[in-house]
Chains A and B, each alone.
Chain A
Amino acid sequence: MIPLSYYLILSGIVFLTGVVGVLLRRNIIIILLSVELMLNATNINFVAFSQYFHDVAGQVFVFFALTVAAAEVAVGLAIIIALYRAKSTINIDELQLLKW
């Protein structure tokens, strides 16, 4: 049986990669992809704990996280399309309307 800490380390690495991607990249689509990485890292944690504690509730929560991820992608990509139509760019350095 693989120790639980291996799964936690893997999930930590993936989550950290997602955080760095959100902070580092300027393409707004890559930022959304990095958010997906972070969601998947938490899902790995949920499933690993669900297996180790023999409780199926963790897998149910992964199911709900999947729903939220699908909704987030639909709305996020719609916002990106609206943004591109208005500004003709998806580079976040050029989207500074809220900056003062």
Chain B
Amino acid sequence: MELAFFIYFAGVIAATSVLVVATRNPIYSAIALLIMFFHVAGLYVTLHAEFLAAVQIIVYAGAILVLYLFVVMLLNLRQDDRYHRQWPIAAAVGVTLVVEALILTVMKGWTTPVVAAGTETTVGGTSNAGAIGDVLYSTYLFPFEVASLILLVATIGAIMLAKKDIGGDEPQINIQHSEPQ
């Protein structure tokens, strides 16, 4: 049963990620990425990371992808996008990595599930979100503050980059940029 769920989620994730790269129209790519995000969230649920599954849907599918779709539609692209001229090099790199991964997998064999004695358990007495909160606001308090600073810098930077030049003589396209969160 568990394996059936994993095979379904993994199959859809692999197929949609290939679609993201392969489709010609950027909107179809974004929609394929949306489906992939939902299935990654499903995979998180099977891994008992319910809080991250909710965050994945809210932040990735709700904020990041909407931003992508906004920009794709604002720029009003013609569909003249073809593959890059250097695609043989990309194919060579990809095939090399696949062969390398296969060789490593075959040589090392399949790993058996290792259960180490960690300090914090995700399925202890408290809930998943509670366990994450305990660790996030104690051990990782400083990185948490740094993350908030990163978000502030990104907000200011995005506004500064996307706003119109005052008195500039370049063509004005009248694009307005929206912020995540």
Q: Is B157 touching A55 in the complex (CB atoms < 8 A)?
A: no
Q: Is the CB of B154 within 8 A of A70?
A: yes
Query: B103 at interface (Cβ–Cβ under 8 A)?
Result: no
Q: Is the CB of B83 within 8 A of A26?
A: yes
Q: Whose C-beta in chain B lies nearest to the C-beta of A14? A: B17
Task: Identify which of residues 1-50 in chain B touch chain A, using a CB-to-CB cut-off of 8 Å.
Answer: 2-3, 6, 10, 13-14, 17-18, 20-21, 26, 29-30, 33, 36-37, 40, 43-44, 47-49
Closest CB in chain B relative to A68 CB, distance in Å: 7
B33: A residues at CB distance < 8 A = 33, 36-37
Contact B98 A1 (CB under 8 A): no
Smallest beta-carbon distance B117→chain A, Å: 8
A73-B43 in contact (CB<8A):
no
In the complex, which of the residues B83, B93, B110, B151 contacts A3, with contact meaning CB atoms closer than 8 Å?
Answer: B110
- Asked whether B105 lies within 8 Å of A84 as measured between CB atoms, the reply is no
A33 to B60 CA separation, bound complex (whole angstroms): 12
Contact A74 B154 (CB under 8 A): yes
Could you tell me if A29 and B153 are in contact, using CB atoms closer than 8 angstroms?
no
Asked if B155 contacts A60 (CB within 8 A), the reply is no
Query: CB distance A66 to B55 under 8 Å?
Result: yes
Tell me whether A79 and B93 are in contact (CB under 8 A): no
CA distance A10 to B46 in the complex (A): 15
Give the most central of A9, A59, A93: most B CB within 10 Å: A59
A73 touches B180 (CB 8 A): yes
Q: Is the interface of B mostly helix, strand, loop or mixed?
A: helix
Q: A residues within 8 A CB of B87?
A: 23-24
| B77 x A27 contact (CB < 8 A) | yes
Find chain A residues with CB under 8 A from B118 CB: 53-56
Report A-chain residues with C-beta under 8 Å of the C-beta of B97: 16, 19
> A89–B61 Cα gap in the complex (Å)?
27
Interface residues as binary, B109-139 with A (CB distance below 8 Å gives 1, 0 otherwise): 0111111111111110000100110011001
Which A residue's beta carbon lies closest to that of B21?
A21
CB-based contact A81/B175 at 8 Å: yes
In A58-100, which residues have CB < 8 Å from any B CB? Answer: 59-60, 62-64, 66-75, 77-82, 84-86, 88, 90-93
Annotate B131-173 by CB proximity to A: 1 below 8 A, 0 otherwise: 1100110011001000100110111011111100000001101
Instruction: Give min CB distance, A83 to chain B, whole Å.
Output: 10
**Which residues of the partner chain B approach A53 to less than 8 Å between Cβ atoms?**
114-116, 118
Task: Say whether, besides A33-B68, A43-B40, A71-B154, A25 and B113 are in contact (CB < 8 Å).
Answer: no
